[in-house]
Structure 1
Amino acid sequence: MTIKVKVPSPGESITEVEVSSWFVKNGDYVSKNQLIAEIDSDKVTLEIHAEENGVITLMAKKGERIKVGDILCIIDKESSDENSKKSLETNVKKKEKILYKKFPSPASKKILKEKNISIESIQGTGKHGRITKKDCITKERFNSRSTRVTPLSSLRRKLSERLVSVKNQTAMLTTFNEVDMQEIIFIRKKYKNIFQEKHGVNLGFMSFFTLSCVRSLNLYPDVNAMIINEKEKINFEYCDISIAISGPKGLMVPVIRNAENLSFLGIEKEISRLSTSVRNGTISINEMKGGTFTITNGGVFGSMLSTPIINPPQSAILGMHKIVERPVVINGGIKIRPIMYLALSYDHRIIDGKESVGFLVSVKESIENPIDFLMEGSEKNIPRILEL
């Protein structure tokens, strides 16, 4: 009996994918649920697992484009005889070593991609020969001046097209401000351990910024709008906030739905859930569709200041950055305060300078005075609002 493994649909409107990796060879004996391939679409990468035990026949080559629903490979269950099983048992002892060579650690995988280093050129020193971050750094330090050309994945090509189209099809401007983070740092320091112990999630800066943006979007509704058909403007009466999260496949932007109805706890739980899905590679297309405004935090990578690019078809994006202690003048005296630079990139076709500046000032206002604007005006309310 043969099993035909067909290309699954990565999402609505996607009709074609690219075979990005094969983890088995023609004639290999595979076991049920074994990872056998990865496929790339314009928006997401999917893992393909064996549906049954048997001998596999590949029907597509690495790098080949294939339609959704086409046969990716065939698994022959009749070949699951004693010889194949013995062969499988013989390879079990080698399996860990083989897999580890093909699957470098997450940190090393990122370096390999960024520095264009071939896996085959590195001798792994980790367990069972797995390639570690240290191996990649050492290789980079003593690397020769050779080069290697590799094709862009479908995901990266689509991202490139979107970024170029944003620059060409929008009147994008960026306005900047700075925010004193002292008050929310104080609140987090006082309550974060209790919050973590009770709810099992971290009390991060992102919930403060998300709720600040919700407030500001209500004050400046055109920032929560977009142009459709080049002739009409649609304003959203809800806030679906896209949050940029870095994962093994690159930057993903899942959406926190109806953030206006969520508490600090609700937002932190959603961020934790979505972040886990991104880093595990299990995020779905539907979880990344339909945002109305985006927040991105380059500060986690050490960025001091940037001009974030709008996430189309949205009209604006808020960029957070690294917190740095800086001297500032307060009431005529110089104080050292934790300062973050903020950037709002926006489409000037729909958002005027007055609105963009006003939006950013209102975010600053909420972050610098969280008790007044996010916690009903009294420090006594903080435990109740944080659900402690």
Structure 2
Amino acid sequence: MAIEIKAPAFPESVADGEVATWHKQEGEQVARDELIVEIETDKVVMEVVAPEDGVISKILAQEGETVQSEQVLAVLEQGASAAASGAAATPAQAAPAAVDDDAEGPAMGPAARQLVEEHQLNPAEIPGSGKNGRVTKEDILAYLKTRDSAPAAKPAAPAAAVPAPAAPQVQASGERIEKRVPMTRMRAKIAERLLEATQSTAMLTTFNEVNMAPLMELRNKYKDQFAQVHNGTRLGFMGFFVKAACEALKRFPAVNASIDGNDIVYHGYQDIGVAVSTTDGLVVPVLRDADFMSVADVEASIRDLGERARDKKLTIEDMTGGTFTVSNGGVFGSLLSTPILNPPQTGILGMHKIQERPMAVNGEVVILPMMYLALSYDHRLIDGKTAVQFLVAIKDLIEDPARILLQL
């Protein structure tokens, strides 16, 4: 029985998607719930799995093709085997392609496979830049360009019993290599939103610095016990900063608001976005009702969201919403930066590297672990005074962590 394999149902905020990678090809056997194809949207990569055991009889949407919500991507012959499917294939389908003869060769999509067949290439000679070494269409085009631009080989010497080995190709001194690849939908959307934030908001950034010694002392004292009690959850700094942000947002609701046309929307809850870096770019999953979460809940949720982001398991719902964002560039060594707003939010807190610096304390110079804090805000809604007071509230809560628990 033929079963249609469809794209996922996209939410209203996602217009369409793009076929990113086929993990199975026509004639290949699949098991139920096995990954078949990945669909990349503006926000996340969505996986499509096999609904039943069977064989992929036909692929209807190629890699790089734009697809709509619930569009048919392929046809699955339920219960069929790869051998039976091959026996029923037409002569053109049954003819072995160059890429299929090499069982150990790299994986590739239909577009790349077609180029290999047209040019009679050996896929094992083509370096793949895709996921898990997958050979993409762009890899083959680059290979052909390099091959065609190489000097023609000299005619072989007559009556030679064994052909002389080809001389290794050496890159000419001073030759500059360029590689052009299309921007992914997610990367393009990130670029679009960042540009929108800088052009459509009156963004301004204010700075302060915080003494991390009290928080570091508290963490060192309880981190082992914390991990034991909370099932291995690591006690980090993000949990305290998220909780401090929630407390400060309650005191300064304008920083937790958003602009909708000529209206100001004040949110009576704190949904905190946490910036996570992935190979595809920066994503911002959201901690719902973070003000009701404990430090342990925040740390466990951030760890879970980070792992799912790197494994491309985040859903649209994980990425939607958020009233304020916390970004920690310090994990990469950033000492100071100006974070960009995540519209329609009007504020984002930037954390940075902890670095020991000489500080004046009660008339004496003391070496303290200091961190620069940055608050970028939309000046259309938030006045400078409010922004500075909000950042000072964060500083006070972090320098005296007990105040977070006591809500002082």
Q: Do Structure 1 and Structure 2 share a fold, with TM-score over 0.5?
A: yes
* Letter paired with 2:404: L
1:103-252 aligned at under 5 Å gives the runs 103-104=131-132, 145-199=176-230, 200-229=232-261, 231-252=262-283
* Counterpart Cα distance in 1 of 2:318 and 2:294: 20
Query: Is 2:36 aligned against 1:4?
Result: no
Which has the greater radius of gyration? 2
Q: Is the 8 A contact 2:212 2:371 kept in 1?
A: yes
Query: Is 2:337 aligned against 1:337?
Result: no
* Counterpart Cα distance in 2 of 1:247 and 1:143: 34
Deviations 1:86-137 (A, max 9, x none): 99xxx9xx689869x86439xxx9xxxxxxx969999xxxxxxxxxxxxxxx
* Counterpart Cα distance in 2 of 1:40 and 1:254: 17
* Letter paired with 2:247: R
Q: 1:27 to 1:191 in 2, by over 3 A?
A: same
- Give the CA deviation at 1:76: 2.5
* Counterpart Cα distance in 2 of 1:10 and 1:368: 44
* Counterpart Cα distance in 2 of 1:143 and 1:182: 51
Query: Is 2:106 aligned against 1:74?
Result: no
Task: Name the SS of the counterpart of 2:132 in structure 1.
Answer: coil
Q: Which moved more, 1:71-80 or 1:319-328?
A: 71-80
Q: Gapped runs of 5+ residues in structure 2?
A: 88-93, 95-99, 109-127, 144-172
Q: 1:78 to 1:239 in 2, by over 3 A?
A: closer
Deviations 1:291-341 (A, max 9, x none): 100000001111111110001100000000111111111111111111111
Q: Which residue of 2 aligns with 1:376?
A: 406
> What fraction of aligned residue pairs are identical, expressed as a percent?
41
Q: Which moved more, 1:17-26 or 1:181-190?
A: 17-26
Q: 1:158 to 1:81 in 2, by over 3 A?
A: closer
Q: Is the 8 A contact 1:212 1:367 kept in 2?
A: yes
Q: Which residue of 2 aligns with 1:23?
A: 23
Q: Is the 8 A contact 2:29 2:82 kept in 1?
A: no
Q: Which residue of 1 aligns with 2:153?
A: none
Task: Name the SS of the counterpart of 1:104 in structure 2.
Answer: helix
* Counterpart Cα distance in 2 of 1:172 and 1:160: 17
Deviations 1:331-370 (A, max 9, x none): 1111111111110000000000000011111111111111
Deviations 1:182-239 (A, max 9, x none): 000000000001000111211110111011111211221111111112x111111211
Task: Name the SS of the counterpart of 1:5 in structure 2.
Answer: strand
TM-score normalised over the length of structure 2: 0.76
TM-score normalised over the length of structure 1: 0.80
- Give the CA deviation at 1:83: 5.3
Q: Which residue of 1 aligns with 2:97?
A: none
Q: Is the 8 A contact 1:248 1:281 kept in 2?
A: no
- Give the CA deviation at 1:14: 2.3
Q: Which residue of 2 aligns with 1:327?
A: 358
Q: Is the 8 A contact 1:244 1:295 kept in 2?
A: yes
- Give the CA deviation at 1:36: 2.5
* Counterpart Cα distance in 2 of 1:232 and 1:172: 18
Q: Gapped runs of 5+ residues in structure 1?
A: 110-116, 123-141, 379-388
Higher helix residue share: 1
